[in-house]
Amino acid sequence: MSHVFTTDIEFAKRSDALDELARFKQQFHFPKKNGKDVIYFCGNSLGLQPVSVEPAIQTELNTWKEEAIGGFTKGKNPWLYYQEYLKPSLAKIVGCKEDEVTVMNTLTVNLHLLMLSFYRPTDTRFKIMMEAGAFPSDQYAVETLVRHFGLDPATAIIEIKPKDGEKILHTEDIIAAIELHGESLAMVMLGGINYYTGQLFDMQRITEAAHDVNAIAGFDLAHVAGNVPLHLHDWGVDFAVWCSYKYLNGGPGAVGGVYVNEYFASDVRTPRLGGWWGNDEKTRFKMEKGFIPKPNAGGWNISTAQVLNTVSLKAALEMFEEAGIEKLRAKSIQLTAYLEYLLHQLPNLKFEIITPVDAGSRGAQLSLYFKERGKEIHDKMIESGIIVDYREPGVIRVAPAPLYCSFGDVYAFYEILKNHF
């Protein structure tokens, strides 16, 4: 594959024939439109169902049926250790040690739990920095957190905005804002990729800047996990949370992911809200007084492993193991660049790509702002069996996920724009 694209369909066919990851497309179920599989560019909202999920769920249902309580220690995958099974794959995907990662609850719940551990406001250091226009759930979480501490969101929350007339934030401006608030800043909490613009932040430099003023750096990786490889441990990120139903294909409401840097994870004194599942295994079943957390990210587990919403993620992660996150990213960069190239061959369309041009500042998604006919274009795509997402006032988000999207899929999207608009 190369960056030299052309507008003929032969290019798409050739690229698909040369793509060593193309075989994964057959390992997913696609919704149908007029009897045909749709083209699916909505994996940034809900990933497709891997074919392996149904038998994997059946396995756990059988264990439950046949072993009942015995399933915790017997069966193919004893439930007592269910969370452990996902750690090796997730550690590779987010770039950390296995002891720094766990699965539990869902994203916003985990964001609350981790912020409660890491946000320790004092009279002088109490501000949380986030991006303006963050995903609503993140805004609600931060707003209610500061109120929980009796603080006023108007003074405790610093929202960073792009410069006037711009859509994306410059790393230099984020760092300057961190320096400006300095000693009053308790925490920086950004979405690793902004869900709307598709901008990928430089988490390493932002973490360094936060640490330079002794603030905590945490990230919501909902749009990053399974999309862009990360190095959370090496970057020194303090904590991160993500959901598993977007690029990770874990299914609706799948168990969420959590990363806690080992510096805090191994320290049983790190504050947290506890429950029996996070307690040291040696004493968990003694039912004694006194919470002793596991000396790893599992020390944040509160309740018993949620086997039935973890099994689908477990099955989905096997494909990431097989494909490799770095190879997926290499294909993803090509696919998205190809989409961008084809869009630029449509001079009659009035639109703006609000996602950064630089491949290092974006993941799979491109957000297209159509100044006119946005809704009409969206509806035509859906009618043609191409699933994309629409947000007012005219933004179509297109996310070619490399596990199940092809160059031919991207070409089909372009062809509809070319022939009908």
- Of 47 and 50, CB closest to ligand PLP: 47
What is d(CA 328, CA 323) in angstroms, rounded to the nearest whole number? Answer: 7
Among 89, 108, 279, 406, binds ligand PLP (CB under 6 A): 108
99 binds ligand PLP, rule: CB under 6 A: no
Omega before residue 136 within 30° of 0, cis? no
CA-CA distances (angstroms) from residue 55 to 59, 252, 314, 418? 6, 17, 12, 42
Question: How far, CA to CA in Å, does 256 sit from each of 71, 100, 200, 242?
Answer: 23, 14, 20, 6
Cβ at position 189, least distance to ligand PLP in Å: 11
Toward ligand PLP, which CB reaches closer, 33 or 391? 391
Segment interacting with ligand PLP (CB under 6 A) among 76-84, 94-102, 215-223, 408-416: 215-223
* Contacting residue, 19, 220, 340, 409, with ligand PLP by CB under 6 A: 220
Q: Which residues, numbered 41-80, are part of the site for ligand PLP (CB under 6 A)?
A: none
* Minimum CB distance to ligand PLP, residue 307 (Å): 19
Residues 227 to 256 in contact with ligand PLP, rule: CB under 6 A: 243
In the complex, least distance from residue 254 CB atom to ligand PLP, rounded to whole angstroms: 9
Q: Of 130-138, 198-206, 275-283, 315-323, which segment contacts ligand PLP by CB under 6 A?
A: 130-138
Residue 287 region, left (φ>0) first, then alpha (ψ -120 to 50), else beta? left
The residue within the footprint of ligand PLP, chosen from 112, 223, 272, 378 (CB under 6 A), is: 223
Under DSSP, the state recorded for 10 is H
How many C-beta neighbours within 10 Å does residue 326 have? 9
Is 240 strand, coil or helix? strand
Interior CA angle at 45 toward 142 and 314, to 5°? 95
Angle between helix axes 325-343 and 9-18 (nearest 10 degrees) is 180
Indicate the residue among 94 and 377 with the shorter CB distance to ligand PLP: 94
Q: Which residues contact 266 (CB under 8 A, 6 or more apart)?
A: 99, 295, 296
Residue 138 interacts with ligand PLP (CB under 6 A): yes or no = yes
332/406 with CB nearer ligand PLP:
332
Task: Work out how close the CB of 107 gets to ligand PLP at its nearest, in angstroms, rounded to a whole number.
Answer: 3
Rounded Cα–Cα distance for residues 210 and 207 (Å): 5
Residues 173-192 that bind ligand PLP (CB under 6 A): 191
Q: How far is the CB of 256 from ligand PLP (least distance, A)?
A: 6
Pairing between strand 39-40 and 386-387? Answer: parallel
Q: Name which of 222 and 328 has its Cβ closer to ligand PLP.
A: 222
CB of 312 to ligand PLP, least distance (A): 15
Of residues 372, 341, 367, 337, the one with CA closest to residue 353: 367
Does position 222 interact with ligand PLP (CB under 6 A)? The reply is: yes
Q: Quick check: 196 binds ligand PLP (CB under 6 A)?
A: no
| Angle between helices 325-343 and 307-323 in degrees, nearest 10 | 80
Q: Which region among 63-71, 133-141, 176-184, 371-379 touches ligand PLP (by CB under 6 A)?
A: 133-141
Among 195, 259, 264, 370, binds ligand PLP (CB under 6 A): 195
Return residues touching ligand PLP (CB under 6 A): 106-108, 135, 137-138, 191, 195, 220, 222-223, 243
